[in-house]
Structure 1
């Protein structure tokens, strides 16, 4: 499990004139558009500056390399989506988190992520930063939801780290990346109600009394 703050480790030290935080959202939106449209290989600092309507110095005050720029942007946007819910039940928590994942998959962030995936095998440093950043954030959130359920006694001890917790997100990701079929809240609810929760009840019932 990776701490959701791990992505902060990839942020470079920045010097010079203080940056203007009001420009961050504009720049990040431009980065996501360019990634989705052109991919990582074609992304340049000049292109980001032009798309965002800012000077190149504004970009370099935030990020010194293209890798820093991409991972920090995707990590920051994911951080606002992959929040750990606490509804008081495992089913409620998973429903909220899966709906957040669906929203992310169908957003500009999702399109940018898909365009980036083919690059990761050829960019080891970028791949490591991606695992520690955005992927780590979602992993942390799902792990914490199951850990909360174990602390509440909804699942048996040890079940939070078994194979069942992987099922829900894995089914959505497979559909998103491999089949091209629609991934929406209705599908997430079906996965939760017809697959995940029955597996949880079955695994709990199988535990010794």
Structure 2
């Protein structure tokens, strides 16, 4: 386990130019540590040790712990939510909720759980979460609704509605509130027992 005792602030970045190839390695280390020790115990020294880089490499990128975590959170989930068009709203929803299951059970999911209690005391972190992961998944759902409209499966106006929020809510509640396993079988059940009945009740042609 990395040592978790080091000052979290440095006055300047300075030094050699930043090497972008190390960003992914460092962000992966941050996620692992957040899942293990949480935001409060995270230090810049621990990140450097976990990533296998020198502390100067960390400080050339981020001056403070908050800056480091905010930047990492802003990038969360961007890959998981990139989904292909399956040809139907039912297929798109299965793919999207399946991608959410993958995120929930990844280091990014563990890091998200660890960060939730800190967000109320860290406005910049809460903002990064809203504008990063939440915006990514909201955009992914909007793409599903837009494709459904173009195919004539649903009427316009579903994006941002209570119905749209209700479709993703069971998965989020099971993950963050109930603490029960979130798997593909549960995601499929949400599609079959929540999403499709709700959409059909509101005029969807499925």
How would you bin the TM-score normalised by the shorter chain? 0.7 to 0.9
Report the Cα distance in structure 1 between the residues aligned to 2:42 and 2:193, rounded to whole angstroms. Answer: 42
Compare the two structures and name the one with the higher helix fraction.
1
- Residue 63 of structure 2 corresponds to 64
Deviations 1:88-138 (A, max 9, x none): 211111111111100110111111110000000111121112111111111
Deviations 1:9-56 (A, max 9, x none): xxxxx8753322332222112111111111111111111111111111
Q: Which runs of 5+ in 2 are unaligned?
A: 1-12
Report the Cα distance in structure 2 between the residues aligned to 1:135 and 1:151, rounded to whole angstroms. Answer: 24
Structure with greater contact order relative to length (CA < 8 Å, sep ≥ 6): 1
1:150/1:160 contact within 8 Å kept: no
1:146/1:160 contact within 8 Å kept: yes
TM-score normalised to structure 1 length:
0.85
- Residue 23 of structure 1 corresponds to 22
- Residue 8 of structure 2 corresponds to none
Give the alignment's Cα RMSD to 1 decimal.
1.9
- Residue 115 of structure 1 corresponds to 114
SS in 1 for 2:181: coil
TM-score normalised to structure 2 length:
0.86
Matched, 1:104 2:132: no
Q: CA separation of 1:78/1:159 partners in 2, compared to 1, >3 Å: closer, same or farther?
A: closer
- State how 1:1-209 maps to structure 2 within 5 Å: 17-204=16-203
Tell me how many residue pairs correspond in the alignment: 193
2:155/2:204 contact within 8 Å kept: no
Q: CA separation of 1:171/1:17 partners in 2, compared to 1, >3 Å: closer, same or farther?
A: same
1:84/1:145 contact within 8 Å kept: no
Q: Which runs of 5+ in 1 are unaligned?
A: 1-13
Report the Cα distance in structure 1 between the residues aligned to 2:15 and 2:153, rounded to whole angstroms. Answer: 52
